Amino acid sequence: MVVTRFAPSPTGYLHIGGLRTALFSYLWAKKNGGKFVLRIEDTDKARNSQEATQAILEAFEWLGLKHDGDITYQSQRDDIYAKYIQQLLDEGKAYRCYMSKEELTQIRETQMANKERTKYNGKYRDFKGTVEGVEPVIRIKAPLSGEIIVRDGVKGDVSFQSEDILDDFVIARADGTPTYNFVVAVDDHLMGINEVIRGDDHLSNTPKQIVVYEALGFDLPKFYHVPMIHNSAGKKLSKRDGATDVMAYKEMGYTPAALLNFLVRLGWSYSDQEIFSMDEMMELFDPKDINKSASIYNTEKLDWLNAHYLKNTPNTTLAQFLEEYDLVLASHDKKEILLDELKERAKTLKEMAALVKEIIHTPNSYDAKAVKKAFKEGFVDILNAFASKVESCQELHLPNDYHHLMQEVVDELEIGFGKIGQPLRVALLGKLSGPGLDSVMAIIGREETLLRIHNAISANS
RNA sequence: GGCCCCGUCGUCUAGCGGUUAGGAUCCAUGGUUUUCAUCCAUGUUACAGGAGUUCGAUUCUCCUCGGGGUCACCA
């Protein structure tokens, strides 16, 4: 069974890049009828917070990504890690190192001055005694030479020379807490994770983790290192790059379907297909089709996708989404006409909410340019002619009912459609752009239509 | 700097030795629409450079250049 995982450190909100690797992991597990588990990497007590964990969970909830089983918190597994550390100590695969931080720094500085790579010198590798007054760290015995090959499902086989990249790295700090590369390997194994999909910034950590796997006698999982998402400057996307908080996309009015579709196509493709429902993603996603190169984050396509999904969202769902924007449309008798009209025009839910408000609220001002263009000589007569038709007609419900009245005015006065359309538009909406007027009038109704026409005439003549 | 990864339109990408190098987005133009948007049509734009292998390289190899990642008692 395929078991994948998402393993964030809770130092902030869920970030767009993290969400993408989470999505890839989720899809791959689901496609294979496997499990997608969540592990919170909170071993750094100084930097992580409960709120951050909640923020990540909230984002998952919004997007409908469900993890399987209980969440694993690394902070609650100290005894497990201690056991494996002791095992390595007992087997002579790890040792206590009494080097002071000062001495370590000293060595590093010397190495840097000599333009050598910085590495621990192995001073305590074979040391058996103890040193008074120093709390030791525990280091793992890493191979001094030889080759480590990461068999990566995205990048192919990547070969590292031990002497280039390894030294006896710390697996437990002086205070006894274990370090990242150690716990990742232990937990991935213990949690049964056999397919690791993560950012390629971890590729160079992988040899270290392999050292841990091998020291403990664990089988290696399959690795997939997915390329970074870069900002427009070509650098790794970071929190400084503006909208990287997943929940910010909710506020901006994007739907989960659009965001997920956008992200799945960033670094992955399935021939020419652009639109993927969740079901299609689960059916078609395969990490072997992930791109090798980094992609630049650019939301133009997200806007297009969002607009696409809005057009194809049922009105009842749309009405629910819009409740986030203080719009209660459930009881509006013309909500179908309203939403049908607006979902073709809005790129985001936020925009759509604003458009709804523009229609249902009586305009309290008129755009100056629009007034100049539309309220030319004779407009009062035209509007009055139309208003009297509306007044004399009691049964007006559908856009077509209003359209007929406009047509009659146009025919009787022998004018073009624009002659009535422009002033009527400004009267109804306060500006020269917007949805079809017949629909607008059907939505706001006969009384409101008359009110807006009269308001416009008295304010502008 | 060492090590590692990457390099097709502005952007997301297809391509897996022979293609007029395809799609999407963006942008521009035209059409539809009383307006704006949608929608439809059309168009501009790409294989980083250089050697080699081959009858033939975007595709394989090497070098150069460019970009990125990583080098902690952070994760």
Q: What is the pLDDT of residues A383-411, one digit of tens each?
A: 999 999 999 999 999 999 999 999 999 99
pLDDT band at A161 (very low <50, low <70, confident <90, very high): very high
- Judge whether residue A348 has pLDDT over 90: yes
Show contacts of A261-265: CB within 8 Å, 24+ apart: A261/A305, A261/A309, A262/A299, A262/A301, A262/A302, A262/A305, A263/A16, A263/A19, A263/A20, A263/A23, A264/A20, A264/A23, A264/A24, A264/A27, A265/A301
CATH of the domain at A102: 3.40.50.620
Residue A338: inside a domain: no
Residues A54 and A161 in one domain: no
Q: What is the mean pLDDT of chain A?
A: 95
CATH of the domain at A378: 1.10.10.350
Closest residue by C-alpha to C1' distance, nucleotide B22: A272
What is the CA A10 to C1' B55 distance in angstroms?
Answer: 60
Q: pLDDT at position A61, please?
A: 98
Q: Which of A226, A245, A265 is the last residue of a domain?
A: A226
Residues A125 and A57 in one domain: no
pLDDT tens per residue across span A38-83: 999 998 777 788 899 999 999 999 999 999 999 999 999 999 999 9
What is the CA A207 to C1' B61 distance in angstroms?
Answer: 27
Residues A178 and A124 in one domain: yes
Residues A219 and A84 in one domain: yes
Residues A86 and A222 in one domain: yes
Residue A357: inside a domain: no
pLDDT tens per residue across span A355-366: 999 999 999 999
Residues A146 and A247 in one domain: no
Nucleotide nearest to A343 (CA to C1'): B38
Residues A113 and A163 in one domain: yes
**How many structural domains does chain A have?**
3
Q: pLDDT at position A451, please?
A: 97
Residues A220 and A81 in one domain: yes
Residues A231 and A115 in one domain: no
Query: Which nucleotides in chain B lie less than 7 Å from some protein C-beta?
Result: 1-8, 10-15, 22-26, 33-39, 67-75
Residues A307 and A438 in one domain: no
Residues A222 and A265 in one domain: no
Residue A411: inside a domain: yes
Q: pLDDT at position A426, please?
A: 96
Q: Which of A166, A201, A226 is the last residue of a domain?
A: A226
pLDDT tens per residue across span A110-153: 998 888 888 999 999 999 889 988 999 999 999 999 999 999 99
Burial of residue A362 (CB within 10 Å: 0-12, 13-18, 19+) is exposed
- Judge whether residue A328 has pLDDT over 80: yes
pLDDT band at A331 (very low <50, low <70, confident <90, very high): confident
Residue A435: inside a domain: yes
Residue A350: inside a domain: no
Tell me how far CA of residue A379 lies from CA of A328, A372, A440, A456, in angstroms: 35, 11, 20, 11
Residues A83 and A221 in one domain: yes
**Cα of A381 vs its chain's centroid, Å:** 54
* Range name among A166-175, A180-189, A257-266, A328-337 with the lowest pLDDT average: A328-337
Q: What percent of chain A has pLDDT over 70?
A: 100
Q: Which of A211, A226, A241 is the last residue of a domain?
A: A226
pLDDT band at A377 (very low <50, low <70, confident <90, very high): confident
What is the CA A295 to C1' B63 distance in angstroms?
Answer: 26
| Structural domain range at position A85 | 77-226
Q: pLDDT at position A240, please?
A: 80
Residue A253: inside a domain: yes
Residue A264: inside a domain: yes
Provide the annotated active-site residues of A. 239
Q: pLDDT at position A116, please?
A: 85
Residue A191: inside a domain: yes
Nucleotide nearest to A304 (CA to C1'): B25
pTM attached to this predicted model? 0.95
pLDDT tens per residue across span A167-196: 999 999 999 999 999 999 999 999 999 999
